[in-house]
Amino acid sequence: MKCDVAIVGGGPAGASAAFELAKAGLSSVIIERNLSNAKPCGGAIPLGLVEEFEIPPELVERKVTEMAVRSPKGRYVQMSMKQGYVGMVRRERFDKFLRTRAAENGVSLIESKLRRVKKLADGYKLSIDADSQGVTEIECKYLIAADGANSKVALELEFPPNELKAVAIQQRFHYSPALEKWNNLVEIWFDSEVSPDFYAWVFPKADHIAVGTGTENKNAHIKKLQNRFREKLGIEAEPYYEEAAKLPMHPRKTFVQGNAMLVGDAAGLVTPSNGEGIFFAMKSGKMAAETLIDFTRGKAKSLSLYEKNFRKNYNLIFTALSVMQAIYYRNDRMREGFVAICKDEHVQQITFDSYLYKKLVPAPLWVQMKITAKNIYHTALGR
C-alpha cells in the first residue's frame, strides 16, 4: 500500500493532522493499534480548542464554570469562571469523532500494530501486523508520528528521547448523592500526601466523575497515592473503571527529522504544572499538517518550519509552567503559599484568561506588583 502521508497513532494529534491533510487532497492513512482504545486522560479542553476545531456541542459533556484548589493544610479556595468554561469530554467518544471526521474526508483507517520503520531513499516503509485486508507494508513519502510518549517511530528513527515522564492514574465513579457536589466543580489538590510533585484532581463528566493523581517521582507508589486521595475525598464507592498512563513533561529536543515529524505526546507536548496535552496535541497535529501541505506546494522551504512555529507560539507557556512547577510544587510550604495566592481575584482572572486561549495574558504593572508582594509573603511564610 502506498500513500503520501502515513500517520502512526489515531488520537487527537494524529486525527487532527489527518483531517487537515485530507482537506488539502493529500492521500493519508492512520495506523492505530486499537481503534476502540482511548488514552487515560482527565478530558478537560479549553474554549479556544472547541472553537478552533469546531467540536460539536454534544461532545462537551460538561461546561464547568466552578473550580476549587485545596492546600496541604486544608485551605480551600473556590473560583468562578465568569467568561468561558472548562469543557469536559470522554476520550473514547472524542477520539472516535476526530477519527471519523478524518475518515469521512478520505483518510484510510488501519487497525494494526506498527512493527518496524525503514528509511527509504525518498520516504519510509512501515511494517505492520496484517490488517483485515491483509496489508502488511505501507510506503509513504512523509511520516507523522502521533504514537504517544513511548513513540515507536521516534525510537526507530533515533529521535532524541522524551524526558521526565510522569505517571498518572485515574478512576471513574458513577454519580451518587455523595458525589453530586462535583457536578459542576473541578477540584485540584496540591498536597504531597496525594501527589509529591504534581497534583490530584476531580473532574465531572456526564454520567461519572473522574478522580486521579500523578507524579514524576519514580519511588512513589501511584496506587497508594490514589487510595489516599480517595480516602481524603471520602469516596467509599468502588470505581467501575481504572486507567493509567505515562506522560512526557517536556518537549523533545527536536520534532522534525528528514520527512518525519513528531506531534502530541510523541513530541513531548504535555505542559508542566498542569499536565495538559489535548490542546497541544491537536494544535501540533494541525500545524505539522499545514507545514507539510505548504512544503508540497512550494510555500515552505523545510518541514522544520513546523517546529519553529510551534516553539515560537508556545515555548513561553511551557517555560513559564515549568518554572511554576519547580517553585511551587517542591514542598508543602510552597504549595500552601501557592493556594493562598489563588485567592486573589486578579490571579484568578489571569489564570482563566490564559487557559481559555493558551496565551499568557499580561497584567497592569500595579497588579503585577500586588501579586509579587503577596507571592513573597505567602511563600516565605507558607501560609
What structural domains and CATH numbers belong to the chain?
2-41+91-162+251-320 (3.50.50.60), 56-89+163-248 (3.30.9.10), 327-381 (no CATH)
d(CA 257, CA 251): 15
Query: Which residue is associated with the grid cell 468562578?
Result: 80
d(CA 276, CA 76): 23
What is residue 341's three-state secondary structure? helix
Give the pLDDT mean for 247-273.
91
Phi/psi region, residue 295 (left: phi>0; alpha: psi -120 to 50; beta: rest), is alpha
7, β-bridge pairs: 30, 144
Q: What is the pLDDT of residue 365?
A: 43
Q: At 377, is the pLDDT very low, low, confident or very high (cuts 50, 70, 90)?
A: very low
d(CA 26, CA 13): 17
pLDDT tens-digit map of 172-217 = 999 999 999 998 899 999 999 999 988 999 999 888 899 999 988 7
Q: What is the pLDDT of residue 329?
A: 84
d(CA 91, CA 83): 25
d(CA 121, CA 260): 13
80, β-bridge pairs: 66
Q: What is the pLDDT of residue 5?
A: 97
Q: At 146, is the pLDDT very low, low, confident or very high (cuts 50, 70, 90)?
A: very high
Nearest to 327 by CA among 337, 317, 315, 318: 337
Run of H or E residues at 85: none
Give the pLDDT mean for 118-147.
89
Give the pLDDT mean for 277-288.
94
pLDDT tens-digit map of 339-373 = 888 887 866 676 766 666 566 555 444 434 444 44
Run of H or E residues at 242: strand 241-250
Q: What is the DSSP letter of 266?
A: G
Q: What is the pLDDT of residue 43?
A: 80
d(CA 376, CA 380): 6
d(CA 211, CA 67): 15
Q: What is the pLDDT of residue 374?
A: 45
pLDDT tens-digit map of 33-87 = 888 876 667 788 888 888 889 999 999 988 888 899 999 999 999 988 877 788 8
pLDDT tens-digit map of 99-111 = 999 999 999 999 9
Q: What is the pLDDT of residue 352?
A: 67
Query: Which residue is associated with the grid cell 507508589?
Result: 221
DSSP letter for each residue of 127-190: EE---TT---EEEEEEEEE---TT-HHHHHTTPPPPEEEEEEEEEEEE--TTTGGGTTEEEEE-
Query: What is the β-pairing status of strands 185-189 and 200-204?
Result: antiparallel
120, β-bridge pairs: 123
pLDDT tens-digit map of 308-349 = 999 999 998 888 888 888 888 888 888 888 888 888 786 667
pLDDT tens-digit map of 12-42 = 999 999 999 999 999 999 999 888 876 667 7
What is residue 251's three-state secondary structure? coil
Q: What is the pLDDT of residue 371?
A: 43
Residue type at 282 in one-letter notation: M
Nearest to 131 by CA among 36, 39, 33: 33
- pLDDT above 70 (res 143): yes
The pTM of the full predicted model, rounded to 2 decimals, is 0.88
Q: At 145, is the pLDDT very low, low, confident or very high (cuts 50, 70, 90)?
A: very high
